[in-house]
Structure 1
Amino acid sequence: MALTRRDFLKGAAALAVAGGAAPAAAATEPTRSEARAFAVEGLDPAHAGLRVVQLSDLHVGARTPRERIRDAIDRANAFDPDLVVLTGDYLCRERRGVGLMREQLGGLLAPTVAVLGNHDHWVDARGATRALQALGYAVLRNQNTTLQLRGAPFTVIGVDDRLTGQARPEEALRGAEPGSRLVLAHGPRTADDLRGAGLPLLCLSGHTHGGQWHVPGLTPFMLRTLAHEPYERGLYRLGAVQLYVNRGIGNSALRLRIDSDPEVTLATLRPA
């Protein structure tokens, strides 16, 4: 939807007002547990009702309270999931964040699979990978892996970060078994590339923080025009591809969130 100049100015004014009230708003911005159901083509009957928890954009460091991260991990475990997936941006701006990853991101009890995000590549991709692996989490960089879940094979396809030029979806899909499968990608626009494969896929992503400072109308407009990011939050359908954009847990450039509360997602998979 195109915005008129009047709409844009109204949105800008609303953002200014929101910014003035930001400290109070941020203090009461709770983490929200989101329950979503997805119909997945080719899903093995053994995986009907499979529970997948998604955490994204944890951004360890000064901008994200440690208590929020640990609360998200506790929430993830409380869902008693079959699988946990992490969709990138564990770091923020400093290399010391690699040590904080080891301190703060441990304790997930279900099998856990991760991909990297743009901040991880900007700061220390190797360090972030090693930190995740030291915690017992698998890291996929344009790769796929098959796990035995509920007694049947389940394939996770991990596409590396698109913004930093690391994404190679064709390579990630190579050799992936048909049937039960799930795609992880930090950048939502990876779904545009997956769409060209013509395969029915469910892709879980993050990156946008749901706008972080969300002003209806204005924030999506700014994401589209300045960041060239048309997918802000929630579910999108791109041909045979279902894309879900998680609002994330942490903060990046700003320490505050407005109308974009941190999100722990429980994705329940159903046969299409």
Structure 2
Amino acid sequence: MEEKWDTPVDRGMQFSDGQPLLGNHKTIRGVVGGILAGGAGALILNLPLWAGVSIGMLSMAGDLLNSFIKRRLGKTEGQEFPVMDQFLEGALPLVVLVPLAQVSLAGGIYLLLIFVATAHAGAKFLNQILRAEPFAGYTRRLRSRTRFREWRGCQTIGYPFHPIINIERSLYYNAFMKTVFKGLGLYAKGKQNALDIHCRELEFVFPNLPPAFDQYTILFISDLHLDCMEGITEKAREVVYRLSPDLCILGGDYRTESWGSYSIAMENIKNLLANICPKDGIFAVLGNHDCLEMVSPLREIGVRFLINDNAAIERSGDRIWIAGVDDPYYFEGHDLEDAFIGIPENGFSILAAHTPAIFKAAAGFRPNLYLCGHTHAGQVQIPGIGPVITHARVPRKMIYGQWQFGSMMGYTSSGLGTSGLPVRFGCRGEVVLIRLKRGTKQPIQSSE
């Protein structure tokens, strides 16, 4: 059914000049959608339904005629033809709209000019932003929804309208929630709690862990948000400087906001990582607050990003694999199949993902351990109730701490920093030192 709707209107037919009659971009889905949009618009504007459907049909007819003309002039599909691209699409519906709305000829021409200008701007935004890769080496599947989110949060930084198109988050947290906590007299205490960062040490025991990796240690840090408040980077450095892990994995969310400059966050991450010198390097994945543009500056200081990729760690002839996926929550860039390519079926693997949300799909690839964050353990927990907001549709046991799904072990970190407001109640910020052990017992030890 999906393929039927995506069938080109001209069904691949060619004109006498050997060029497509219309082109593959003009699909049954698009034509039907345009007609239905006309009908819906009529209902919204309290116009007769027949008028809306007629306007939609005439607009689509103008669009198809325009494509026919462009093919005859040698224009390729998607190639811009300023003014002409929108003229017929806007002019033909005036046959119905002008007499129906009792608009004068001058008024009709004015409406046409407004439509052409608006539609031209929209077409440029669609073709140059939503349907175009923002830079060379772009790694995500090109989808309009993803590109809009990237443009909104990452590629309009420095533009005057940048705060405006992201205003809802600022209003909710900085205006509403901040006022609530201050009004309750809890804001200062919450900020103090947010700086109470600790190292949580865990053991995970696996019968199939390669012998050379018995007692292997991994430092896992998720939801760093190192620009969330003054002093958090210094507190984090105090916690990690004494640690000597074999490997470090960063779980994403490097800046506090999902929009705005990330320069401070990058500098603070570099300062923090200067205190971490794992023998087998630092690996990282992206979170929903992150931009692909962050990858390059962190690669320069030795961080290896696993964006739907994996890496093998070798010791004394034994191997384990670290797999990582792109953000599954907001940008929906994760691809587990790509992440596990080349990992042997019986190979010992650890999956790093920003959120626990893909645990069911991940289990199908049989990782031994799934490391994630994103939930902040709720960040604010109510006594006797626990976390209220988690931003993850998973069983509550997966909101924080150790869990198991089938044979796959998992750990969801409460994160290092804070998101939204720089406060915590009922849960501490953390870095996690994980020790892998070879044995038969399930992991039960957890020490503060």
- Specify the TM-score bucket, using the shorter chain as the normaliser: 0.7 to 0.9
Q: 1:186 — aligned with what? A: 354
Q: 1:48 to 1:115 in 2, by over 3 A?
A: same
Q: Is the contact between residue 249 and residue 263 of structure 1 (CA under 8 Å) also seen in structure 2? A: yes
SS in structure 2 at match of 1:23: helix
Once residues 216 and 426 of structure 2 are traced to their aligned partners in structure 1, the CA distance between those partners, rounded to angstroms, is 30
Once residues 418 and 426 of structure 2 are traced to their aligned partners in structure 1, the CA distance between those partners, rounded to angstroms, is 13
Q: Is the contact between residue 357 and residue 393 of structure 2 (CA under 8 Å) also seen in structure 1? A: no
Instruction: Looking at secondary structure, tell me which structure has more strand per residue.
Output: 1
Once residues 213 and 246 of structure 1 are traced to their aligned partners in structure 2, the CA distance between those partners, rounded to angstroms, is 14
Give structure 2 stretches of 5+ with no counterpart: 1-179, 440-448
Once residues 247 and 316 of structure 2 are traced to their aligned partners in structure 1, the CA distance between those partners, rounded to angstroms, is 11
Q: Is the contact between residue 190 and residue 422 of structure 2 (CA under 8 Å) also seen in structure 1? A: no
Once residues 252 and 222 of structure 1 are traced to their aligned partners in structure 2, the CA distance between those partners, rounded to angstroms, is 12
Q: Does 1:258 align with 2:425?
A: yes
Once residues 227 and 158 of structure 1 are traced to their aligned partners in structure 2, the CA distance between those partners, rounded to angstroms, is 19
Q: Does 1:243 align with 2:410?
A: yes
Q: Is the contact between residue 185 and residue 204 of structure 1 (CA under 8 Å) also seen in structure 2? A: yes
Q: Does 1:101 align with 2:269?
A: no
Within the candidate set 208, 228, 232, 2:393 is matched to 228
Once residues 73 and 150 of structure 1 are traced to their aligned partners in structure 2, the CA distance between those partners, rounded to angstroms, is 32
Q: 1:76 — aligned with what? A: 240
Within the candidate set 298, 301, 320, 1:154 is matched to 320
Give structure 1 stretches of 5+ with no counterpart: 1-14
Q: 1:271 to 1:227 in 2, by over 3 A?
A: closer
Q: 1:24 to 1:16 in 2, by over 3 A?
A: closer
Q: Normalising by the residue count of structure 2, what TM-score does the alignment of the two structures yield? A: 0.51
Q: 1:16 to 1:90 in 2, by over 3 A?
A: closer
Q: 1:111-163: per-residue Cα shift (whole Å, max 9, x none)?
A: 1100000111xxx22x2111221221100011001123466433111122111
Q: Does 1:271 align with 2:434?
A: no
Q: Is the contact between residue 193 and residue 424 of structure 2 (CA under 8 Å) also seen in structure 1? A: no
Query: Within 5 Å, which residues of 2 pair with 1:1-272?
Result: 20-29=185-194, 30-61=196-227, 63-65=228-230, 67-93=231-257, 94-98=259-263, 100-105=265-270, 106-107=273-274, 108-110=276-278, 111-120=281-290, 124-125=291-292, 127-149=293-315, 152-164=318-330, 165-177=332-344, 178-197=346-365, 199-216=366-383, 218-220=385-387, 222-223=389-390, 227-230=392-395, 231-272=398-439
Q: 1:132 to 1:263 in 2, by over 3 A?
A: same
SS in structure 2 at match of 1:119: coil
Once residues 205 and 240 of structure 1 are traced to their aligned partners in structure 2, the CA distance between those partners, rounded to angstroms, is 17
Q: Is the contact between residue 142 and residue 172 of structure 1 (CA under 8 Å) also seen in structure 2? A: yes
Identity percentage of aligned residues: 28
Task: Name the count of aligned residue pairs.
Answer: 249
Instruction: Looking at secondary structure, tell me which structure has more helix per residue.
Output: 2
Q: Is the contact between residue 222 and residue 253 of structure 2 (CA under 8 Å) also seen in structure 1? A: yes
SS in structure 2 at match of 1:191: helix
Structure 1 stretch displaced more, 148-157 or 33-42:
148-157
Once residues 46 and 154 of structure 1 are traced to their aligned partners in structure 2, the CA distance between those partners, rounded to angstroms, is 10
Question: Cα RMSD (Å) of the superposition?
Answer: 2.5
Greater RCO (CA < 8 Å, at least 6 residues apart): 1
Q: 1:9 — aligned with what? A: none
Q: 1:235-267: per-residue Cα shift (whole Å, max 9, x none)?
A: 111111111001111111111011111101110
Q: 2:124 — aligned with what? A: none
Q: Is the contact between residue 225 and residue 265 of structure 2 (CA under 8 Å) also seen in structure 1? A: no
| CA displacement at 1:214 relative to structure 2 | 1.3
